Amino acid sequence: MGFSRQEHWSGVPLPSPECRVVGDGGTISKGKICSLKARAVLIDMEEGVVNEILQGPLRDVFDSKQLITDISGSGNNWAVGHKVFGSLYQEKILEKLRKSAEHCDCLQCFFIIHSMGGGTGSGLGTFLLKVLEDEFPEVYRFVTSIYPSGEDDVITSPYNSILAMKELNEHADCVLPIDNQSLFDIISKIDLMVNSGKLGAAIKPKSLVTSSTGVFKKRQEKPFDAMNNIVANLLLNLTSSARFEGSLNMDLNEISMNLVPFPQLHYLVSSLTPLYTLADVNIPPRRLDQMFSDAFSRDHQLIRADPRHSLYLACALMVRGNVQISDLRRNIERLKPSLQFVSWNQEGWKTSLCSVPPVGHSHSLLALANNTCVKPTFIELRERFLRLYKKKAHLHHYLQIEGMEESCFTEAVSSLSALIQEYNQLDATKSMPVEDLPRLNVAM
C-alpha cells in the first residue's frame, strides 16, 4: 500500500463545485471523485468475484489494467494456488505491483487482504508474501487474514489454513486475524437491533441493512457485503493517520516496531468501536469512556477472543475524532489495573490521535493488541487439521501437484505448534510474581 499526497479525499466535503484536477490525472467535479483509482491489484483465479466488482458500484474505483484473473480457479486447494498459479503468474503480478509502487510518493507498506480457507487466497495469497519480501525487502507486509469458521463449507479449509499459516509465520511483518464467525455475529447484532426497532429512523430508508435486496433479507443468508464492510472500516481506521491530520499521528511502520517484540509473535487482535461502523447505520454515539471499555470486551473483538483474561505483550489505541490526549491517558490509567501485561513491558502502549472521525460518528477507536488470546484460534485450527490429517483424507488432491510432498503438511503443523508453544510460555508467566519470572525462550 502506498500513499500519494494528492489523493486522499475520502469523502471529505469539497468547498467548491467547480471541476478540479488532482494527482495522477484525477478530477473532482461537484464534490465527486471522477477518475482517481485505488492503488490496488485484484487477484483471483476465477472470474466471478472480480467481474462482480467491475459491474458493481465500485467499478470506477479500480483500474481494469490492475486485475489478474484465471478461469479454472484453485479448487479449494492451497497447492494449486501456491505451486501452480504462483509460478504461472509471478511475473505478471510483479509487473503490476511495480507499476503501483512507482506511483507512490511514500511507499509505507503493502496490505494483503485474503481468505485462509480457499485455494487462491491461502495459496496464491501467501505465495505473494514471499514475492514481496524478495522484491521489496525493506517495505512492511501487513496481512489481513480471514480465518474460516467451524461451520465452513470448504472441507479442505483446515489444510489450506495450516499451510498458509506457515507462510504467514515466516514472511509477514504483521497479521490481523479476523474470524468469519465473529463478523457474522456482529452483523447479526445489527440485524437484531434493526428488527427490534431500536434504531428507528436512524437508518437510511434504502440502506444496505434495510433494503429488500440487502444482506438482511433472509436471516439464514450470510451477509458477506456487510461483513466485508467491517473489515474495510478496520483498514480505514488503520490508515487514518496517513490520510488525515492529527495531534498524534502514527505511521504504519510504527505499529510493527512497537507491537511486535519477537518476529513470529506478529499476530494482532483487532477490535473496533463503535462496533457498528457501517456508513449507512447511524447508531447513537457511545460515551467516550464507554468506547474505551468496549474496545477491550469480548463482544468487540474481530476474532473470538477475550483479551481481558489473557496476557498483553503490547497494545495500540488509534483514536479518531475530537478526543484530547488527556482523555486518552485518563482512560489508559483507568483500564490498566484490569489488564495484565508481560512483566518486561508494563508500559507497552502505543497511541495515536487523528482529528477526522469516520463518517456519521463523533469519534471512534481501533485497538490492536498483541495478546495471547489469539492462541485458542490457532489451537482450534490445529485440531480441525489433525482430524482430517490422521485419516489422510483428501491428501491425494494435494500430493498430485508437482512440488507438493507430505512433508509440507508435517512442517506446517510443526510451525503452528511451535507458535502455540511460544504463547503457552508467555501464558505460564501470568501467575508468577514479577521477580520470579524466568527468561522466555522465544525463537528468533
Q: How far is it, in rounded angstroms, from Cα 158 to Cα 90?
A: 25
Shortest CA distance to 111 belongs to which of 147, 67, 142? 142
**Which residues are registered as beta bridge partners of 315?**
349, 369
Determine the Cα–Cα distance for residues 414 and 361; give it in Å rounded to an integer: 45
Max Cα distance, the chain (Å): 68
Quote the DSSP letter at residue 217.
S
Q: Select from 39, 23, 22, 40 the least CA-distant residue to 31.
A: 22
Which residue in 403, 383, 423, 418 sits closest to 161, CA to CA?
383
Cβ atoms of 274 and 291 closer than 8 Å: yes
Query: Which residues, listed in sequence order, are joined to residue 363 by a DSSP beta bridge?
Result: 321
By three-state DSSP, how is residue 365 classified?
strand
Handedness of CA 369, 375, 380, 386 (dihedral sign): positive
**Residue given cell 483509482 in the structure block:** 37
Q: What is the pTM of this model?
A: 0.85
> What length does the chain have?
444
Separation in Å, CA 105 to CA 7, 101, 127, 241, 436:
11, 9, 26, 16, 49
User: What DSSP letter does each residue of 20-32 carry, written as one string?
Assistant: EE-GGG-EEETTE
pLDDT in tens, 342-380: 999 999 999 999 999 888 788 899 999 999 999 999 999
Helix 180-196 and helix 224-238, axial crossing angle in degrees, nearest 10: 110
Between the CA of residue 152 and those of 112, 156, 245, what are the distances in Å? Answer: 22, 10, 41
The owner of cell 460515551 is 287
Residues 8/243, Cβ–Cβ less than 8 Å: yes
Q: How many C-beta atoms surround the C-beta of residue 263 within 10 A?
A: 13
> Quick one: 266 exposed, middle or buried, by C-beta within 10 A (0-12, 13-18, 19+)?
buried
Integer CA distances (angstroms), 306 to 150, 231, 270, 370, in order: 18, 19, 11, 12
pLDDT tens digit at each of 444 positions of the chain: 443 322 222 222 222 333 334 445 555 454 455 667 888 999 999 888 888 888 888 888 888 888 899 988 999 999 999 999 999 999 999 999 999 999 888 888 999 999 999 999 999 999 999 999 999 999 999 999 999 988 888 999 999 999 999 999 999 999 999 998 999 888 888 777 666 655 443 444 444 433 333 434 444 455 788 888 889 889 999 999 888 888 888 888 899 999 999 999 999 999 998 866 454 455 566 688 998 999 998 888 999 998 999 999 999 999 999 889 999 999 999 999 999 999 999 999 999 999 998 887 888 999 999 999 999 999 999 999 999 999 999 999 999 999 999 999 999 999 999 999 999 999 998 876 655 555 555 554
The C-alpha cell of 78 is what?
A: 492451497
Residues whose CB is less than 8 angstroms from the CB of residue 268 and which lie 6 or more positions away in sequence, other chains included: 174, 175, 176, 255, 259, 368, 369, 370
Cβ burial, residue 219 (10 Å; 0-12/13-18/19+):
exposed
The span from the CA of 333 to the CA of 354, in Å, is 21
